[in-house]
Structure 1
Amino acid sequence: MAQEVKSGDTVKVHYHGRLSDGTTFDSSEGREPLEFEVGSGMVIKGFDDGVMGMTVGQKKTIEIPVDDAYGPRDPQAIIEFPIDRFPPGLKPEVGMQLAMNNGAGQQMPVVIVEVNPEFVVLDANHALAGQDLIFDLELVEINTPSRIIMP
């Protein structure tokens, strides 16, 4: 009987990620397959759930609703930042990606969505927030952790 993926296994998966309108946002094509431990939180919940029960060589398409992907867009993550606080020599432009430090010293990626004379509007939402995602998956490998039973 073929081995099926279960929580705790480390798997290798080739994937092609699309939005519901068909736009590709990520793919492992031409790269090594994605390797992760199932159920450990390394990937979004819908991706974890999607590989459960798959067998090596199996292909399938999964649809991940926004709540099991990157969640809804958060209006609190839209920030107005005074333009005079930008480093001299940096000319902010719409679409530019920057890293900002939050108060706790962690870096978070932001994208400039608007520029005007007084301030710049930054969006700290994940680029895929608010989107349902579709993945074509192919399971390449399963590595089950060995269970050592102590006497």
Structure 2
Amino acid sequence: MTRLPIDDILPCLREALAARTEAVLEAPPGAGKTTRVPLALLDEPWLDGQKIVMLEPRRLAARSAAEQLARGLNETTGETVGYRIRFDSHVGPRTRIEVVTEGILTRMLQRDPALEGVGLLIFDEFHERSLDADLGLALALQARELLRDCPLCACC
């Protein structure tokens, strides 16, 4: 596998997420954020077998990211990695990484504000700000504050 710039900071990211409930990762385009980070975090002990949901702002990007992540595991989409976009879904009972678009994330949060079974929510390409992405972030932060147990701080 070709080495990417993001590979050098993955140990620091793992440590940061083990110690805190959030992290901001900034790296140039092509560094490997989308394709390496979810796979690198999939088996972290603090995730405890829960799902990773990754927000991609566009349908084509969501599908492409899921396909690339699945290829990294020598699988097809719908196995460990899947995607859900408007009018199309490739997830299965073993799916642990779901790449979703903004509207899907908003509906997920409205249907289940605690996001039961989700251990990590990644906002990819968040610099591409939109009302839907901002709403998703606001709902996720509110749900974390009100519905999640947070042993690291007194706010939850």
* TM-score, normalised with respect to structure 1: 0.21
Give the TM-score of the pair, scaled to structure 2: 0.21
* Structure with greater helix share of residues: 2
